[in-house]
Amino acid sequence: MTIDGAIDCDIHPGVPNIKALLPYMDEFWQESFVARGIDGFDMMSYPLGAPITCRPDWRVKGERPGSSLPNMRRDALDAFGIGLAICNPLTGGQVAVSETMGAAICSAVNDWIVEHWLNQEPRLRASIVVPAQAPLLAVEEIERRAGDHRFVQILMPAACEMMLGRSYYWPIYEVAAKYHLPIGLHAGSMYRYAPTSGGWPSHYLHDYVANSQLFEDQLLSLISNGVFNRYPDLRFVLIESGVTWLPGFIWRAIKTWRGVRAEVPWVKRSPAETIRENIRLTVQPIDAPRDTDVVERIIEQIDSDRMLLFASDYPHWQFEGDAVLPSGLSPDLLRRIRVDNPLETYPRLKETVQ
Amino acid sequence: MNAPVDVMERRPEADTRLGIIDCDIHPSLKPGALNQYLSERWRKHLAEYGKLNCGIYADRGTYPRFSPATSRRDAWPPGGGLPGSDVAFLREQLLDAYNIAYGVLEPLIGVNTSRNLDEAAALCSAANDWQAHDFVDLEPRLRASILVPQDDPEASVKEIERRAGDWRFAQIQLGSKTSEPLGRRRYWPIFACAEANGLSIGLHVGGTQNSAPSASGWPQFYIEDHHMLVHSMQNQVASLILEGVFEAFPKLKVCMIEGGFAWVPSLGWRLDAHWAKMRDEVPQVKRPPSEYMRTNLWYATQPVEEPENPDDLRQVFEWIGWDRMVYSSDYPHWDFDDPHLAFRFQMTEDEKRMLFRDNALSVYTFR
């Protein structure tokens, strides 16, 4: 198969309720969920009815956003000329306080995505949903899926139980490096801590906006804790981060590193170099006013044509009509964002073109 | 009342030369300096229990700094004491050396972060007396910040009212890390009082530690925590705007201090983009959020970000608006910004005047 069209690095099939996942669980969990009457694992990070969670013209009354494959084909895959798309299921299993319950849900979601999406639509690939609240269980889940090369990435929420550079998470990075799987960090939180360092905001809009600060926090953590010293080829993909915060962040990171780098002597390179080499970002949303040259300026400031990855973020509402790509980009850069950068980021996608 | 004063109308002796206005100078305590301003009850309490902050150590911050007293090695006064504790040396090393016409004191001495609100109120009041007597009275180019126990709005308002008519105080200081996001209604009495008295809010990085520095918990290193303070600034800007503070108090001025500024444009774009979709959640926000960032907020420059291409910084100034930018040195801290060296791009004389002086006159009332 050759790739004809763009590679969408963030598309969201709507994860169903627990009842639909029960066939993929063992007896203990089937019995537990039913006997205890437990359901309702939709994440606070994406309330089902919130405007961000589904673009109005893609919303089907009575249906979960993104739950219909025919609609996904019509509204995204066909509409945007997508050759391959990476499914990033968002499930409460990723944020559950119970390690084992979280693992059971995540594993069921991975089975479900194979049967109902990957087996039904050859353009689809998926991220492995893991219980990051239990890194050792996450490793088991990754090992279980790694043989299916339609799984091209490991997906984690952007806010977990600790900063992501901490050695607690290194077993996940170890297995990711072994299989050349990037780690996708998706906007959203386990809500173990307040969404901001000033506490709990009053509005969902504020929580959502604060995601970009969270991504910045995690970059600092990953770099300062030496994750890229230990795993120099490991890539992190920041999914739904907003993008335009990046240059200002890099400049401040450079300044701080110059001032106090002796605290972390293993960080020998400028954070800017590490970020350009190891970090990728999906381009929806790209927080900039439309019909200005802001995006062009920001891309000049980022000073790398390798970092940005095409994404529709379907069915999340980030743009109107067919404006899935930022305007004002050169044909060369468009080609990189739509095809070349995703292929370089996700080695398993290349198997598809060979 | 601190009614805004036009530059041209100020007393001539207050303006004998065109100097720089520095919005961020950190005074330090000499040993026991607050005692004379505290009652016996609080001296005893502090000697026994100390300050009950939300931290892990009794007498220091959670993240060990990278230089003694977080300061420049050359800022230790020859006569002894901490950097920033000796007015004569501060005068020589900063005010005279850089032709500073006015400098705003930003004490970071942990007086407004106690969980014990009565303790916080007593300490803030003492620290305000201390700034006025031990600094401004000795050097009238300096101005004090009104420190308030912000989690007790009633006590905060009393303290502001007590200082508002005193020319030695230029602003109300709040921290960028608070028990709740600053836009929430518990803090509104402070904003009402600030607006009524024509006093700006100086929002300085730092503050309490009720919440972890990140939504993902606690960083391991100072190099992380120090940078993450910037994110606490972004959070407070979002909170003040989205809660409708600037609709309720349209004349309120807030100056963001020691958070840098390269984050300002993208935060505005981000707020605008997502507000456009979800504005029905925040009907109190009447205009695109970035507009409030251009009418009610100012940004003190230190620590100036360091782009690989220095002209990128000029672009950021243009995106934010030159009229929003005020200079700050952060003296005597290690990441001090020298006004002659910190900005590595060309400025016109007009731009220099705005940045180093005139914009600050829109924020502060110097009498």
Residue B4 pLDDT greater than 60, yes or no: no
CA distance A128 to chain B (A): 21
CB contacts under 8 A, A 267-296 vs B, are 272, 285, 287-289, 294
DSSP secondary structure, A31-93, as one string: HHHHHTT------TTS-TTSGGGS-GGG--TTS-TT--HHHHIIIIITTTTEEEEEE----GG
Choice among B10-19, B69-78, B121-130 with the minimum mean pLDDT: B10-19
pLDDT score at B3? 44
Q: What is the mean pLDDT of chain A?
A: 96
pLDDT score at B66? 87
Strand partners, A282: A309
pLDDT score at B175? 97
Which among A114, A216, A106 has a CA at the least distance from the CA of A156?
Answer: A106
Residue A247: its chain B contacts at CB < 8 A? Answer: 262, 307, 312
CA distance B358 to chain A (A): 26
Spatial separation of the C-alpha atoms in residues B62 and B64, rounded to whole Å: 6
Residue A42 pLDDT greater than 80, yes or no: yes
CA distance B25 to chain A (A): 20
Q: What is the CA radius of gyration of chain B?
A: 20
Residue A47: its chain B contacts at CB < 8 A? Answer: none
B14: left (phi over 0), alpha (psi -120 to 50) or beta: alpha
Task: Answer for the pair B265, B320: CB distance below 8 angstroms, yes or no.
Answer: yes
Spatial separation of the C-alpha atoms in residues A230 and A209, rounded to whole Å: 32
Residue A191: other Cβ atoms inside 10 A: 17
Q: pTM here?
A: 0.96
Spatial separation of the C-alpha atoms in residues B326 and B257, rounded to whole Å: 9
Spatial separation of the C-alpha atoms in residues B69 and A100, rounded to whole Å: 47
pLDDT score at B18? 67
CA distance B268 to chain A (A): 9
Inter-chain CB proximity B239 and A214 less than 8 Å: no
Helix (H, G, I), strand (E, B) or coil at B162: helix
Q: Which of B181, B228, B271 is facing A217, going by the closest CB pair? A: B228
The predicted model gives A144-156 an average pLDDT of: 98
CA distance A286 to chain B (A): 8
Spatial separation of the C-alpha atoms in residues A209 and A214, rounded to whole Å: 10
pLDDT score at A215? 98
The two three-digit tokens of residue A187, written as one number: 């906007």
Residue B13 pLDDT greater than 80, yes or no: no
pLDDT score at A279? 98
User: What pLDDT digit, counting tens, does each position of A244-284 carry?
Assistant: 999 999 999 999 999 999 999 999 999 999 999 999 999 99
pLDDT score at A1? 46
Inter-chain CB proximity A317 and B277 less than 8 Å: yes
pLDDT score at B9? 43
Burial B227-251 (b: 16+ CB within 10 A, else e): bbbbbbbbbbbbbbbbbbbbeebee
> What is each CA distance from B165 to A287, B2, B157, B161, in whole angstroms?
44, 6, 13, 8
Q: Which of B213, B239, B260 is facing A206, going by the closest CB pair? A: B239
Residue B79: other Cβ atoms inside 10 A: 9
pLDDT score at A3? 60
Spatial separation of the C-alpha atoms in residues A350 and A72, rounded to whole Å: 23
pLDDT score at A352? 80
User: What pLDDT digit, counting tens, does each position of B248-294 carry?
Assistant: 999 999 999 999 999 999 999 999 999 999 999 999 999 999 999 99
pLDDT band at A292 (very low <50, low <70, confident <90, very high): confident
> What is each CA distance from B61 to A175, A293, B34, B120, in whole angstroms?
37, 43, 20, 17
pLDDT score at B79? 94
The predicted model gives B336-362 an average pLDDT of: 95
Residue A163: its chain B contacts at CB < 8 A? Answer: 214, 216-220, 224
Which residue of chain A comes nearest to B63, CA vs CA?
A263
Q: What is the mean pLDDT of chain B?
A: 94
Task: Answer for the pair A174, B208: CB distance below 8 angstroms, yes or no.
Answer: no
Asked whether this complex has an ipTM greater than 0.95, the answer is yes
> What is each CA distance from B98 to A22, A310, B95, in whole angstroms?
71, 50, 6
User: What pLDDT digit, counting tens, does each position of B55-68 carry?
Assistant: 999 888 999 998 99
Q: Does A44 touch chain B (CB under 8 A)?
A: no
Q: What is the 3-state secondary structure (H, E, C) of B216-274?
A: CECCCCHHHHHHHHHHHHHHHHHHHHHCCHHHHCCCCCEEEECCCCCCHHHHHHHHHHH
pLDDT band at A351 (very low <50, low <70, confident <90, very high): confident
CB contacts under 8 A, A 6-35 vs B, are none
Residue B351 pLDDT greater than 80, yes or no: yes
Residue A136 pLDDT greater than 80, yes or no: yes
User: What pLDDT digit, counting tens, does each position of B132-163 carry?
Assistant: 999 999 999 999 999 999 999 999 999 999 99
Which distant-in-sequence residues (6+ apart) come within 8 Å of B168 by Cβ? B131, B132, B136, B137, B143, B144
CA distance A275 to chain B (A): 14
pLDDT score at A25? 98
The total number of residues written for chain A in this structure:
354
Q: Does A241 touch chain B (CB under 8 A)?
A: no
Number of A–B residue contacts, CB under 8 Å: 249
Inter-chain CB proximity B216 and A221 less than 8 Å: yes
Strand order across the B169-177 sheet: B20-25, B100-105, B142-147, B169-177, B200-207, B254-257, B297-300, B325-326
User: What pLDDT digit, counting tens, does each position of A213-256 carry?
Assistant: 999 999 999 999 999 999 999 999 999 999 999 999 999 999 99
Residue A185: its chain B contacts at CB < 8 A? Answer: none
Which distant-in-sequence residues (6+ apart) come within 8 Å of B248 by Cβ? B188, B191, B284
Residue keyed to tokens 């945007």? A80
Q: What is the signed CA dihedral for A307, A311, A316, A322, rounded to 10 degrees?
A: 130
Spatial separation of the C-alpha atoms in residues A315 and A336, rounded to whole Å: 24
Q: Which of B218, B222, B239 is facing A163, going by the closest CB pair? A: B218
Which amino acid is located at B165 in the chain? G
Residue B296 pLDDT greater than 70, yes or no: yes
CA A341 to chain CA centroid, Å, is: 16
Q: Does A168 touch chain B (CB under 8 A)?
A: no
| Eight-state DSSP code of residue B214 | B
* C-alpha neighbours within 13 Å on the C-beta side of residue A180: 11
Which amino acid is located at A326 in the chain? P
Q: What is the signed CA dihedral for A200, A206, A209, A215, rounded to 10 degrees?
A: 0
Inter-chain CB proximity A198 and B265 less than 8 Å: no
Which distant-in-sequence residues (6+ apart) come within 8 Å of A80 by Cβ? A6, A8, A312, A322, A324
Which among B183, B130, B187, B119 has a CA at the least distance from the CA of B156?
Answer: B187
Residue B12 pLDDT greater than 70, yes or no: no
The predicted model gives A293-313 an average pLDDT of: 95
For CA atoms A139, A145, A150, A156, the dihedral sign is negative
The predicted model gives A343-348 an average pLDDT of: 97
pLDDT score at A40? 94
DSSP secondary structure, B323-357, as one string: GGEE----BTBTT---TTTS--S---HHHHHIIII
User: Which of A192, A197, A204 would best serve as a mutation to test chain B binding (most B beta carbons within 10 A)?
Assistant: A197
The total number of residues written for chain B in this structure:
367
Omega of the bond leading into B107 within 30 degrees of 0 (cis): no
Q: What is the 3-state secondary structure (H, E, C) of B21-55?
A: EEEEECCCCCCCCCHHHCCHHHHHHHHHHCCCCCC
Which distant-in-sequence residues (6+ apart) come within 8 Å of B355 by Cβ? B301, B322, B325, B326, B327, B343, B347
Which amino acid is located at B261 in the chain? F
Q: What is the signed CA dihedral for B183, B184, B189, B190, rounded to 10 degrees?
A: -40
pLDDT band at A290 (very low <50, low <70, confident <90, very high): confident
